Amino acid sequence: MSSIIHLEQPQPSGRENQHALIKGSGSTVTFPPRNIPRSNNTAIVYCEGNFGAIDGKTANGLVRHSEKYEILSVIDSKKAGLDAGVALGDEPNGIPICRDLTEALAFAKALPGYFIFGMAPASGMLSTYERGLVIEAMNHGMNIVNGLHEFLNDDPVFAAACLSNNVSILDIRKPRDKKDLRMFSGRIAEVTCPRIAVLGTDCAIGKRTTATILTRALNEYGVKAVMIGTGQTGIIQGARYGIALDAIPSQFCSGELEATIVEAFEAESPDIIIVEGQGALSHPAFSTSSFILRGTCPDGVVLQHAPGRINRCDFDQMPMPTPASEVNLIETFSDTKVIGLTINHENMTDDDVDMAINSYEKELGIPVTDALTRSPDHLVEMVLVSFPQLRKKSVGTLN
Protein backbone atom coordinates (compact mmCIF):
# COMPACT_ATOMS: atom_id res chain seq x y z
CA MET A 1 0.00 0.00 0.00
CA SER A 2 1.33 3.44 -0.90
CA SER A 3 2.17 5.77 1.96
CA ILE A 4 1.79 8.93 -0.14
CA ILE A 5 -0.87 11.39 1.07
CA HIS A 6 -1.64 14.66 -0.69
CA LEU A 7 -1.24 17.62 1.66
CA GLU A 8 -3.93 20.23 2.12
CA GLN A 9 -3.57 23.55 3.91
CA PRO A 10 -3.52 23.16 7.70
CA GLN A 11 -6.65 24.05 9.65
CA PRO A 12 -6.36 24.95 13.36
CA SER A 13 -8.71 23.03 15.63
CA GLY A 14 -10.99 26.01 16.27
CA ARG A 15 -10.50 26.62 19.97
CA GLU A 16 -9.42 30.18 20.60
CA ASN A 17 -6.35 30.99 22.62
CA GLN A 18 -7.58 31.45 26.19
CA HIS A 19 -4.14 31.91 27.75
CA ALA A 20 -3.43 35.59 28.38
CA LEU A 21 0.17 36.67 28.92
CA ILE A 22 1.13 38.28 32.21
CA LYS A 23 4.69 39.04 31.26
CA GLY A 24 6.79 39.00 28.10
CA SER A 25 6.26 40.86 24.85
CA GLY A 26 4.89 39.61 21.58
CA SER A 27 7.81 40.99 19.60
CA THR A 28 9.52 38.94 16.94
CA VAL A 29 12.99 37.70 17.80
CA THR A 30 15.83 36.51 15.58
CA PHE A 31 17.48 33.22 16.45
CA PRO A 32 21.18 32.74 15.77
CA PRO A 33 22.19 29.46 14.14
CA ARG A 34 23.16 26.74 16.57
CA ASN A 35 25.30 23.66 16.11
CA ILE A 36 23.22 20.79 17.46
CA PRO A 37 24.86 17.37 17.69
CA ARG A 38 22.98 14.41 16.37
CA SER A 39 20.90 12.93 19.17
CA ASN A 40 18.14 10.36 19.25
CA ASN A 41 16.39 12.38 21.97
CA THR A 42 16.03 15.63 20.03
CA ALA A 43 12.55 16.53 18.84
CA ILE A 44 10.43 18.92 16.81
CA VAL A 45 6.96 19.57 18.24
CA TYR A 46 4.04 20.22 15.89
CA CYS A 47 1.36 22.59 17.19
CA GLU A 48 -0.06 24.46 14.19
CA GLY A 49 -2.38 27.30 15.18
CA ASN A 50 -2.57 26.19 18.81
CA PHE A 51 0.69 26.90 20.63
CA GLY A 52 -0.13 28.64 23.91
CA ALA A 53 -3.79 27.67 23.54
CA ILE A 54 -5.82 24.93 25.18
CA ASP A 55 -5.50 22.44 22.32
CA GLY A 56 -1.73 22.94 22.39
CA LYS A 57 -1.33 21.74 25.96
CA THR A 58 1.03 18.91 25.00
CA ALA A 59 3.37 21.29 23.17
CA ASN A 60 3.02 23.87 25.95
CA GLY A 61 3.97 21.30 28.56
CA LEU A 62 6.96 19.97 26.61
CA VAL A 63 8.38 23.47 26.15
CA ARG A 64 8.09 24.13 29.87
CA HIS A 65 9.36 20.74 31.04
CA SER A 66 10.75 17.67 29.31
CA GLU A 67 12.97 15.04 30.89
CA LYS A 68 12.92 12.67 27.91
CA TYR A 69 13.34 14.90 24.84
CA GLU A 70 15.43 17.93 23.98
CA ILE A 71 12.89 20.20 22.27
CA LEU A 72 14.57 21.94 19.33
CA SER A 73 11.62 23.89 17.96
CA VAL A 74 7.85 24.21 17.75
CA ILE A 75 5.90 24.41 14.48
CA ASP A 76 3.09 27.01 14.49
CA SER A 77 2.89 29.41 11.55
CA LYS A 78 0.66 31.76 13.56
CA LYS A 79 3.49 32.51 16.00
CA ALA A 80 6.51 31.88 13.77
CA GLY A 81 9.59 33.90 14.77
CA LEU A 82 8.73 34.07 18.47
CA ASP A 83 10.59 32.47 21.33
CA ALA A 84 8.43 29.64 22.69
CA GLY A 85 8.93 30.69 26.29
CA VAL A 86 7.86 34.25 25.57
CA ALA A 87 4.81 32.99 23.66
CA LEU A 88 3.71 31.17 26.81
CA GLY A 89 4.19 34.24 28.99
CA ASP A 90 7.35 32.80 30.54
CA GLU A 91 11.00 33.80 30.30
CA PRO A 92 12.75 33.31 26.91
CA ASN A 93 14.03 29.75 26.57
CA GLY A 94 15.80 29.74 23.19
CA ILE A 95 13.28 27.36 21.59
CA PRO A 96 12.09 28.98 18.34
CA ILE A 97 8.63 28.74 16.84
CA CYS A 98 8.98 27.84 13.16
CA ARG A 99 6.63 28.31 10.22
CA ASP A 100 6.71 24.73 8.94
CA LEU A 101 8.62 21.47 8.98
CA THR A 102 11.13 22.68 6.40
CA GLU A 103 12.08 25.66 8.54
CA ALA A 104 12.24 23.54 11.69
CA LEU A 105 14.60 21.07 10.01
CA ALA A 106 16.79 23.89 8.71
CA PHE A 107 17.08 25.32 12.22
CA ALA A 108 17.99 21.93 13.71
CA LYS A 109 21.05 21.61 11.42
CA ALA A 110 20.97 17.84 12.01
CA LEU A 111 18.07 15.40 11.75
CA PRO A 112 16.05 15.29 14.99
CA GLY A 113 15.21 11.89 16.37
CA TYR A 114 11.50 12.58 16.88
CA PHE A 115 8.51 14.43 15.49
CA ILE A 116 6.02 14.95 18.33
CA PHE A 117 2.37 15.69 17.62
CA GLY A 118 1.88 18.38 20.25
CA MET A 119 -1.86 18.99 20.14
CA ALA A 120 -4.80 17.39 21.94
CA PRO A 121 -7.86 18.17 19.80
CA ALA A 122 -11.28 17.20 21.14
CA SER A 123 -11.68 14.70 18.29
CA GLY A 124 -8.47 12.89 19.23
CA MET A 125 -7.85 12.26 15.51
CA LEU A 126 -5.48 13.51 12.81
CA SER A 127 -6.79 15.68 9.99
CA THR A 128 -5.98 14.79 6.38
CA TYR A 129 -3.25 17.43 6.31
CA GLU A 130 -1.77 16.23 9.60
CA ARG A 131 -1.65 12.64 8.34
CA GLY A 132 0.37 13.79 5.37
CA LEU A 133 2.71 15.86 7.52
CA VAL A 134 3.41 12.93 9.84
CA ILE A 135 4.21 10.77 6.80
CA GLU A 136 6.53 13.52 5.54
CA ALA A 137 8.36 13.56 8.88
CA MET A 138 8.72 9.78 8.70
CA ASN A 139 10.06 10.06 5.15
CA HIS A 140 12.77 12.37 6.52
CA GLY A 141 13.73 9.60 8.96
CA MET A 142 12.11 10.85 12.18
CA ASN A 143 10.34 8.63 14.69
CA ILE A 144 6.82 9.73 15.65
CA VAL A 145 5.40 10.40 19.11
CA ASN A 146 1.61 10.27 18.96
CA GLY A 147 -0.52 11.14 21.98
CA LEU A 148 -3.91 10.94 20.26
CA HIS A 149 -6.67 8.38 20.68
CA GLU A 150 -5.98 7.31 17.08
CA PHE A 151 -3.32 4.59 17.22
CA LEU A 152 -1.15 5.05 14.15
CA ASN A 153 0.55 1.67 14.42
CA ASP A 154 -2.84 0.11 13.63
CA ASP A 155 -3.10 2.07 10.35
CA PRO A 156 -1.70 0.19 7.30
CA VAL A 157 -0.43 3.42 5.72
CA PHE A 158 1.63 4.36 8.78
CA ALA A 159 2.76 0.78 9.31
CA ALA A 160 4.10 0.75 5.74
CA ALA A 161 5.85 4.08 6.29
CA CYS A 162 7.55 2.68 9.38
CA LEU A 163 8.94 -0.22 7.39
CA SER A 164 10.03 1.80 4.37
CA ASN A 165 11.77 4.47 6.46
CA ASN A 166 13.06 2.26 9.29
CA VAL A 167 11.36 4.42 11.93
CA SER A 168 8.91 3.73 14.72
CA ILE A 169 5.69 5.24 16.09
CA LEU A 170 5.06 5.57 19.82
CA ASP A 171 1.30 5.45 20.42
CA ILE A 172 1.42 6.91 23.93
CA ARG A 173 -2.24 6.37 24.79
CA LYS A 174 -2.44 2.74 23.72
CA PRO A 175 -3.11 0.61 26.82
CA ARG A 176 -1.75 -2.84 27.46
CA ASP A 177 -3.76 -5.88 26.33
CA LYS A 178 -7.01 -6.33 28.24
CA LYS A 179 -5.81 -9.66 29.62
CA ASP A 180 -3.00 -7.75 31.37
CA LEU A 181 -5.07 -4.89 32.78
CA ARG A 182 -5.40 -4.79 36.56
CA MET A 183 -8.49 -4.23 38.71
CA PHE A 184 -8.56 -2.43 42.04
CA SER A 185 -7.25 -4.71 44.78
CA GLY A 186 -7.01 -2.57 47.91
CA ARG A 187 -3.19 -2.67 47.87
CA ILE A 188 -3.21 1.13 47.94
CA ALA A 189 -3.39 0.70 51.73
CA GLU A 190 0.20 -0.60 51.58
CA VAL A 191 1.37 2.82 50.37
CA THR A 192 2.23 4.47 53.66
CA CYS A 193 3.50 7.83 52.41
CA PRO A 194 1.06 10.71 51.77
CA ARG A 195 -0.64 10.77 48.37
CA ILE A 196 -1.80 14.07 46.90
CA ALA A 197 -4.01 14.37 43.83
CA VAL A 198 -3.90 17.61 41.83
CA LEU A 199 -7.46 18.04 40.56
CA GLY A 200 -9.24 20.93 38.85
CA THR A 201 -12.52 22.70 38.15
CA ASP A 202 -12.20 22.10 34.39
CA CYS A 203 -10.15 20.25 31.80
CA ALA A 204 -6.98 21.80 30.28
CA ILE A 205 -6.61 24.08 33.29
CA GLY A 206 -3.00 23.39 34.39
CA LYS A 207 -3.21 20.38 36.67
CA ARG A 208 -0.19 18.66 35.12
CA THR A 209 1.89 21.85 35.22
CA THR A 210 1.10 22.41 38.89
CA ALA A 211 1.81 18.76 39.72
CA THR A 212 5.16 18.96 37.90
CA ILE A 213 6.22 22.17 39.63
CA LEU A 214 5.10 20.86 43.03
CA THR A 215 7.02 17.61 42.58
CA ARG A 216 10.20 19.41 41.52
CA ALA A 217 9.92 21.96 44.36
CA LEU A 218 9.46 19.26 47.01
CA ASN A 219 12.50 17.37 45.75
CA GLU A 220 14.59 20.55 45.76
CA TYR A 221 13.48 21.16 49.35
CA GLY A 222 14.68 17.68 50.31
CA VAL A 223 11.35 15.85 50.40
CA LYS A 224 11.53 12.89 48.00
CA ALA A 225 8.49 13.22 45.74
CA VAL A 226 7.43 11.02 42.83
CA MET A 227 4.85 12.14 40.29
CA ILE A 228 2.35 9.77 38.70
CA GLY A 229 1.31 10.88 35.21
CA THR A 230 -2.25 10.12 34.13
CA GLY A 231 -2.27 11.66 30.64
CA GLN A 232 -0.33 11.52 27.41
CA THR A 233 1.61 14.77 27.96
CA GLY A 234 3.09 13.74 31.29
CA ILE A 235 4.20 10.43 29.79
CA ILE A 236 5.78 12.17 26.79
CA GLN A 237 7.55 14.58 29.13
CA GLY A 238 9.26 11.58 30.71
CA ALA A 239 7.23 10.65 33.81
CA ARG A 240 8.77 7.41 35.08
CA TYR A 241 5.38 6.20 36.31
CA GLY A 242 2.17 6.85 34.47
CA ILE A 243 -0.78 5.67 32.43
CA ALA A 244 -3.03 7.38 29.88
CA LEU A 245 -6.12 6.96 32.03
CA ASP A 246 -8.68 8.14 29.49
CA ALA A 247 -7.74 5.32 27.08
CA ILE A 248 -8.23 2.49 29.60
CA PRO A 249 -11.59 0.67 29.85
CA SER A 250 -13.45 2.10 32.84
CA GLN A 251 -13.56 -1.24 34.69
CA PHE A 252 -9.76 -1.15 35.01
CA CYS A 253 -9.04 2.57 35.52
CA SER A 254 -8.85 2.67 39.30
CA GLY A 255 -6.97 -0.64 39.38
CA GLU A 256 -4.37 0.40 36.82
CA LEU A 257 -3.77 3.65 38.72
CA GLU A 258 -3.58 1.86 42.06
CA ALA A 259 -1.07 -0.64 40.67
CA THR A 260 1.06 2.15 39.18
CA ILE A 261 1.16 3.99 42.50
CA VAL A 262 2.11 0.80 44.36
CA GLU A 263 4.89 0.15 41.84
CA ALA A 264 6.26 3.67 42.32
CA PHE A 265 6.10 3.35 46.11
CA GLU A 266 7.91 0.01 46.17
CA ALA A 267 10.59 1.03 43.67
CA GLU A 268 11.30 4.58 44.86
CA SER A 269 10.47 4.61 48.61
CA PRO A 270 9.27 8.22 48.29
CA ASP A 271 8.29 10.56 51.09
CA ILE A 272 5.23 11.66 49.13
CA ILE A 273 3.45 10.80 45.85
CA ILE A 274 1.86 13.44 43.62
CA VAL A 275 -0.84 12.26 41.20
CA GLU A 276 -1.71 14.34 38.13
CA GLY A 277 -5.43 14.98 37.73
CA GLN A 278 -7.62 14.78 34.65
CA GLY A 279 -10.87 16.57 33.77
CA ALA A 280 -12.98 17.70 36.73
CA LEU A 281 -15.16 15.73 39.10
CA SER A 282 -18.09 18.08 38.42
CA HIS A 283 -17.69 17.96 34.63
CA PRO A 284 -20.37 15.77 32.98
CA ALA A 285 -18.16 15.06 29.95
CA PHE A 286 -15.35 13.38 31.91
CA SER A 287 -15.16 10.55 34.45
CA THR A 288 -11.40 10.41 34.97
CA SER A 289 -11.37 12.49 38.17
CA SER A 290 -13.59 9.93 39.86
CA PHE A 291 -11.19 7.12 38.93
CA ILE A 292 -8.24 9.17 40.22
CA LEU A 293 -9.94 9.68 43.56
CA ARG A 294 -10.86 5.99 43.78
CA GLY A 295 -7.53 4.58 42.59
CA THR A 296 -5.36 7.02 44.55
CA CYS A 297 -7.40 7.24 47.78
CA PRO A 298 -5.57 10.54 48.31
CA ASP A 299 -4.65 11.91 51.70
CA GLY A 300 -5.01 15.41 50.26
CA VAL A 301 -6.09 17.28 47.13
CA VAL A 302 -4.70 20.44 45.54
CA LEU A 303 -7.40 22.06 43.42
CA GLN A 304 -6.59 24.08 40.27
CA HIS A 305 -9.00 26.85 39.20
CA ALA A 306 -9.09 29.55 36.49
CA PRO A 307 -10.93 32.60 37.88
CA GLY A 308 -10.79 34.32 34.47
CA ARG A 309 -12.49 31.44 32.68
CA ILE A 310 -16.23 32.13 32.42
CA ASN A 311 -17.35 28.89 30.80
CA ARG A 312 -15.92 25.39 30.58
CA CYS A 313 -13.57 25.04 27.63
CA ASP A 314 -15.35 23.41 24.67
CA PHE A 315 -18.71 23.95 26.43
CA ASP A 316 -19.71 27.59 26.01
CA GLN A 317 -23.16 26.93 27.45
CA MET A 318 -21.71 25.47 30.66
CA PRO A 319 -20.60 28.00 33.33
CA MET A 320 -17.48 27.29 35.38
CA PRO A 321 -18.12 25.96 38.89
CA THR A 322 -16.87 27.83 41.92
CA PRO A 323 -13.90 26.44 43.85
CA ALA A 324 -16.13 26.12 46.91
CA SER A 325 -18.61 23.91 45.08
CA GLU A 326 -15.82 21.71 43.68
CA VAL A 327 -14.20 21.40 47.11
CA ASN A 328 -17.53 20.31 48.58
CA LEU A 329 -18.07 17.76 45.80
CA ILE A 330 -14.56 16.28 46.14
CA GLU A 331 -14.75 15.99 49.92
CA THR A 332 -18.24 14.45 49.68
CA PHE A 333 -17.27 11.96 46.99
CA SER A 334 -14.01 10.84 48.61
CA ASP A 335 -12.60 10.51 52.11
CA THR A 336 -10.04 13.26 51.60
CA LYS A 337 -9.35 16.93 52.25
CA VAL A 338 -8.63 19.77 49.82
CA ILE A 339 -5.44 21.27 51.27
CA GLY A 340 -4.91 24.16 48.87
CA LEU A 341 -6.03 26.02 45.75
CA THR A 342 -3.82 26.96 42.79
CA ILE A 343 -4.67 29.63 40.23
CA ASN A 344 -4.48 29.42 36.44
CA HIS A 345 -3.89 33.06 35.46
CA GLU A 346 -5.36 32.98 31.93
CA ASN A 347 -7.25 36.20 31.12
CA MET A 348 -5.89 37.79 34.33
CA THR A 349 -3.41 40.52 35.17
CA ASP A 350 -0.89 40.14 37.95
CA ASP A 351 -3.06 42.35 40.18
CA ASP A 352 -6.03 40.11 39.38
CA VAL A 353 -4.04 37.11 40.59
CA ASP A 354 -3.17 38.88 43.87
CA MET A 355 -6.82 39.74 44.47
CA ALA A 356 -7.95 36.20 43.66
CA ILE A 357 -5.39 34.70 46.05
CA ASN A 358 -6.49 36.96 48.90
CA SER A 359 -10.20 36.45 48.20
CA TYR A 360 -10.07 32.66 48.00
CA GLU A 361 -7.88 32.33 51.08
CA LYS A 362 -10.49 34.25 53.08
CA GLU A 363 -13.40 32.35 51.56
CA LEU A 364 -12.02 28.81 51.69
CA GLY A 365 -9.63 29.02 54.64
CA ILE A 366 -6.85 27.19 52.74
CA PRO A 367 -3.55 28.35 51.17
CA VAL A 368 -3.83 29.74 47.62
CA THR A 369 -1.09 30.44 45.06
CA ASP A 370 -0.25 30.53 41.33
CA ALA A 371 2.27 27.81 40.50
CA LEU A 372 3.65 29.67 37.47
CA THR A 373 3.90 33.27 38.64
CA ARG A 374 4.53 32.87 42.36
CA SER A 375 7.38 31.22 44.24
CA PRO A 376 7.19 27.40 44.37
CA ASP A 377 7.89 27.77 48.08
CA HIS A 378 4.18 28.51 48.48
CA LEU A 379 3.34 25.10 47.00
CA VAL A 380 5.81 23.36 49.30
CA GLU A 381 4.44 25.15 52.36
CA MET A 382 0.91 24.19 51.30
CA VAL A 383 1.96 20.55 51.60
CA LEU A 384 4.05 20.90 54.76
CA VAL A 385 1.21 22.57 56.65
CA SER A 386 -1.01 19.57 56.01
CA PHE A 387 1.74 16.97 56.45
CA PRO A 388 4.10 18.44 59.08
CA GLN A 389 5.97 15.13 59.43
CA LEU A 390 7.60 15.91 56.08
CA ARG A 391 9.46 18.90 57.55
CA LYS A 392 11.80 16.41 59.23
CA LYS A 393 12.75 15.11 55.78
CA SER A 394 13.75 18.48 54.43
CA VAL A 395 17.26 19.78 53.94
CA GLY A 396 16.34 23.21 52.59
CA THR A 397 14.65 26.34 53.87
CA LEU A 398 11.71 28.28 52.51
CA ASN A 399 11.82 31.99 51.85
Q: What is the pLDDT of residue 399?
A: 63
- Over residues 206-265, the pLDDT tens digits come to 999 999 999 999 999 999 999 999 999 999 999 999 999 999 999 999 999 999 999 999
Residues in a beta bridge with 43 = 71, 114
What average pLDDT score do residues 269-275 get? 98
Position 37 pLDDT exceeds 80:
no
Distance CA(378)–CA(375), nearest Å, equals 6
Give the pLDDT confidence score for residue 121 in this predicted structure. Answer: 76
Beta carbons within 10 angstroms of residue 48's beta carbon: 25
pLDDT at residue 396, as a whole number: 64
What is the model's pLDDT at position 397? 66
Query: Percentage of residues in the chain with pLDDT exceeding 70?
Result: 89
Sheet holding 225-229, edge to edge: 241-242, 225-229, 272-276, 195-200, 300-305, 338-343, 368-369
Q: Please check whether residue 83 is in contact with residue 93, taking contact to mean a CB–CB distance below 8 angstroms.
A: yes
| Amino acid symbol at 196 | I
The percentage of the chain sitting over the pLDDT mark of 90, rounded to a whole number, equals 84
Q: What is the pLDDT of residues 302-320, one digit of tens each?
A: 999 999 999 998 899 999 9
Q: Is the dihedral of CA 291, 296, 297, 303 positive or negative?
A: negative
Q: Is the pLDDT of residue 38 over 80?
A: no
Strands 42-46 and 225-229 come out as unpaired
Are the C-beta atoms of residues 91 and 373 closer than 8 Å to each other? no
118-122, 296-300, 360-364: least confidently modelled range: 118-122
Residue 20 has pLDDT above 60, yes or no: no
Q: What are the φ and ψ backbone dihedral angles of 194, each rounded to 5 degrees?
A: -60, 145
Residue 2 in this model has a pLDDT that exceeds 70: no
Residue 223: partners with Cβ closer than 8 Å, 6 or more residues away:
271, 272, 380, 383, 390, 393, 394
**How many CB atoms within 10 Å of residue 300?**
19
pLDDT of residue 39: 55
Q: State residue 111's pLDDT score.
A: 93
- pTM for this one? 0.84
| Structural domains of the chain, with CATH | 42-171 (3.40.50.720), 180-393 (3.40.50.300)
- H helices of the chain, in order, are 57-64, 84-87, 101-108, 128-139, 156-165, 207-221, 232-237, 250-268, 288-296, 323-333, 350-364, 377-386
pLDDT of 30 above 50: no
- Is pLDDT of 36 > 80? no
Q: Is the pLDDT of residue 31 over 50?
A: no
More confident position, 139 or 31:
139
